[in-house]
Amino acid sequence: MPCFYFAYPGDLDTPTGGYGYDRRILDGLRALGWRVELVPLGDGFPFPNAGTMTAAGDRLAALPDDALVVVDGLAYGVLGEAAAAHGDRLRLIALVHHPLCKENGLDEGSASALFRSEQAALQHVRHVIVTSPATAAQVRELFDVPSGRISTILPGTDKPEPYPRSSGELVKLLSVGTIVPRKGYDLLFEALAELDGPDAGWRLDIVGGLDADPACYETLLKQVSDLGLGARVTFHGAVPAERLPEFYRAAHVFVLASRYEGYGMAYTEALAHGLPVIGSGGGAVRDTLPEGAALYCGTENVGALRKALERLICHPQERAKFEKAARVAAQGLPNWQGAAAGFAEILKGAGK
């Protein structure tokens, strides 16, 4: 039975897109006959304290010579010292969801430090796996990693059987994403505030963890209150994966005003549920959203968001047209079995 080690930061059960990708790939590899040895690296990444960094290095040092080791990029990007120490004796593969230095809200010093650290760490890997062609281009251009050492494994998407969408005058909007500045909820609220007249029949449900950036959450609550949207916007916090389909089924439109995404699994999940999508977040999102089923609004473009929201909230025939296109587009989305099979091929190649 082939075996590899998977080293990861934090809690692997955290309900985010990145951790969700990790879990589904690992489950798929187990189903293909791989033995997966989990290596927890500790909390606080990508800004761990000194004790966590030392312990993470010790974890890698304890792995046997010639071990095949996949390290989640949230941790790997700051483990350059450990990568240099063990890159010759371990077969290291970095799983990069998106470059750490591109996270929204970083000050210039932190972004520069993360860039230098990630660039140094990536010089010691056998291979880099990314989750979108846009991220592949960034890894190549930012960190000088040759194209031949980068492979893209797109996330899979579960496709439920088609079901009827509820009707009525109230349009239910849905956003799914952790409450952090990068997800652009402030931009969404600003756009929605202009659609808050007496005839604007909408409500917004937000599903995503509230604890990653408490200051951001408090700021958003104040913004919602100041804009008079308190009766229309509900923060549900993180929900178990098995409950998430309930929210997709109850919604009429999916909207996420991200400033940046390495891929954006929530967008494809929404399409699989036949939801018209409004999105932003750079090249990876633009490439993911199919024309006719989604409206791409650039980045930090409140005006474009408002127009897209007005189009789908106020015109039922437009929503119906986009819903039909979303169901068609969803059939072409990759599945998790194929993603795991592609991942396995890369692991086999790194074993040679």
Q: Could you tell me the two tokens for 227?
A: 């804009």
pLDDT tens by residue, 198-219: 556 899 999 999 999 999 999 9
Instruction: Name the phi and psi angles at 27, rounded to 5.
Output: -60, -40
What does the pLDDT average to over 29-33?
98
Average pLDDT over residues 79-96: 96
pLDDT, tens digit, 9 for 90 and up, residues 145-197:
999 999 999 999 999 988 888 877 899 999 999 999 999 999 999 999 988 65
Share of the chain above pLDDT 90, in %: 86
Strand residue runs (E) in the chain: 3-8, 35-40, 68-72, 91-96, 127-130, 150-152, 171-176, 202-207, 233-237, 253-256, 277-279, 294-296
How far apart CA 258 and CA 277 sit, in angstroms, is: 13
Q: Which residues, other chains included, contact 74 with Cβ-Cβ below 8 Å and sequence gap of 6+? A: 8, 9, 10, 18, 45, 46, 97, 100
Q: How far apart are CA 238 and CA 112, in angstroms?
A: 31
Q: Looking at the predicted structure, is the pLDDT value of residue 40 above 60?
A: yes
The burial of 222, by beta-carbon neighbours within 10 Å (0-12 exposed, 13-18 middle, 19 or more buried), is given as exposed
For position 332, what pLDDT does the model report? Answer: 92
> How far out from the chain centre does Cα 107 lie?
22
User: What does the pLDDT look like over 293-314, one tens digit per residue?
Assistant: 999 999 999 999 999 999 999 9
Q: Could you give the CA distance from residue 212 to residue 217 in angstroms, rounded to a whole number?
A: 9
CB burial readout 333-352, b (16+ within 10 A) else e: beebeebbebbbebbeebee
Q: Is the dihedral of CA 336, 67, 140, 98 positive or negative?
A: positive
Instruction: Write the DSSP assignment of 18-76 as a string of letters.
Output: HHHHHHHHHHHHHHTT-EEEEEE--SSTTS--HHHHHHHHHHHHTSPTT-EEEEEHHHH
- pLDDT at residue 164, rounded to an integer: 87
- Asked if residue 133 has pLDDT above 90, the reply is yes
- pLDDT of 330 > 70? The answer is yes
Please report the domains of the chain, with CATH numbers, ordered by start residue: 3-156+334-350 (3.40.50.2000), 171-330 (3.40.50.2000)
Confidence of residue 339 (pLDDT cuts 50, 70, 90): very high
Q: What is the pLDDT of residue 199?
A: 57
Tokens (6 digits) for 319:
């929503």
Is residue 206 within 8 A of residue 233, CB to CB? The reply is yes
- Confidence category of residue 350, pLDDT binned at 50, 70, 90: confident
Q: How far apart are CA 266 and CA 253, in angstroms?
A: 12
**In the block, which residue shows the tokens 């080293």?**
7
Q: Residue 254: beta bridge partners?
A: 174, 277
pLDDT over 90 at 32, yes or no: yes
- How much is the pLDDT for 196? 64
Question: What confidence tier does 352 reach under pLDDT thresholds 50, 70, 90?
Answer: low
Q: In this predicted structure, what is the pLDDT of residue 56?
A: 97
pLDDT for the residue 195: 86
* In the block, residue with structure tokens 């958003």: 220
Distances (CA, A) of 264 to 6, 82, 155: 23, 30, 9
Contact (Cβ atoms closer than 8 angstroms) between residue 280 and residue 299: yes
Q: Is it the case that residue 351 has pLDDT exceeding 90?
A: no
Q: How many residues does the chain have?
A: 352
Residue 132 is predicted with a pLDDT of 93
What does pLDDT average to over the chain?
94
Q: Residue 118: name the closest of 149, 147, 75, 160 by CA.
A: 75
Please, are residues 67 and 5 in contact by the beta-carbon 8 Å criterion? yes
190 with 159: CB under 8 angstroms?
no
pTM of the model: 0.90
Q: Which pLDDT value is given to residue 165?
A: 87
**Closest by alpha carbon to 336, among 83, 30, 25?**
25
